[in-house]
Amino acid sequence: MRIIRCRLNRLIKTSICATLLISLVYVISLVVITVKENQCSNEESLHFIEDLCEDYKSHRVEGRLCEAICESKDIIFQKCANYRGGKVVLLAQCNGRCQEGKNVKAVIKTKRWEGHHFEPLNLGTHGNKSLTADSLKIAKTLMNDLIYSTTKVNMGSIKDIFEKLWEMDFTSFVKSARYPGADNVVIESLWKLLNQDEYLFMSVNKDSHFIPKIYGTCGGVYVMEYAPSGENLNSSPSIFTAKKGGWVERASIALQILDICQSLDIDFHEPLHFCDVRKKTLD
């Protein structure tokens, strides 16, 4: 009896081992496949920029930096970063167009729209393709509602919501546009931007020191400050051991960071928590 039990045990152990091993191999290959699928390629990114510029040249998108990306090439694609959480994230060199007189690194970003539901506004236009006064009103109301429902910020009192959120003077742009219906193209581009929480969050909070700057946009794509987490997260475990800055300055920075934490907790409809704080996700 004993011998049989022992053999049985061994058999069970072996099969458990084999099952575990097979599961492990399966999980590892799943992870590898997922990582590969989430990785971007430079070729694919160049296609992405080509498509954007095609849209710009045929007047389907507008933005302050379209010309720099598509014509003067002052913004040059360098390499793509991982697609994180369904975003396109491209690192670029920006010569003179992001910070005046300076050549800086910048990040080109947008949501990956495949698989996401997105409705263009499809507003009513005159025969000459420009928006009717009613359409403009509808656009303002819809944008206001969207901004409020996402950020709890009420933009209603701001005289021109387009200028505040579009990084460009709407009225003078439309006046100087050399093709019909430019106002409609601008509104649709802005609508696509506002449908991205990250863009909305950064535009609404753009006066804060800690929010990366938005340099400009092109269609639903925005170009923002390259803000690597730097040495603070890389080596030194605490900002208090950093070399520069006196006590008062450090205390003030600490207070501002606490303000941001509080704001993320109470200023939105739901508390906003970052669950994945690593150097890589903060870059």
Ligand X SMILES: *[C@@H]1O[C@H](CO)[C@@H](O)[C@H](O)[C@H]1NC(C)=O
> Which of 133/275 has CB closer to ligand X?
133
Say which residues have a Cβ less than 8 Å from residue 194's Cβ, sequence separation at least 6: 143, 146, 147, 165, 200
Contacting range for ligand X; rule: CB under 6 A; set: 73-81, 97-105, 125-133, 204-212:
125-133
Structure tokens given for 49:
């920029």
**Residue 132 Cβ, how far from ligand X at the closest point, in Å?**
8
Tally: H helices and E strands in the chain: 11, 5
In the stretch 74-113, what mask flags binding to ligand X with x, by CB under 6 A? ----------------------------------------
CA angle 212, 215, 216 (to 5 degrees): 130
**Residue 56 Cβ, how far from ligand X at the closest point, in Å?**
20
> Which of 130/205 has CB closer to ligand X?
130
CA dist 110 and 61 (Å) reads 14
CA dist 252 and 246 (Å) reads 10
In the stretch 127-146, what mask flags binding to ligand X with x, by CB under 6 A? -x-x----------------
Q: What is the DSSP string of 147-196?
A: HHHHH----TTSS-HHHHHHSS-HHHHHHH-SSTTHHHHHHHHHHHHHTS
CA dist 248 and 273 (Å) reads 28
* Residue 126 found at the interface with ligand X (CB under 6 A): yes
Q: Which residue bears the tokens 């599961």?
A: 23
**Residue 64 Cβ, how far from ligand X at the closest point, in Å?**
21
Structure tokens given for 118:
């997105």
Contacting range for ligand X; rule: CB under 6 A; set: 122-130, 206-214, 232-240, 262-270:
122-130
How many residues belong to the site for ligand X (CB under 6 A)?
3
**Residue 202 Cβ, how far from ligand X at the closest point, in Å?**
32
* Residue 176 found at the interface with ligand X (CB under 6 A): no
> Which of 58/128 has CB closer to ligand X?
128
**Residue 149 Cβ, how far from ligand X at the closest point, in Å?**
32
Binding site for ligand X (CB under 6 A): 126, 128, 130
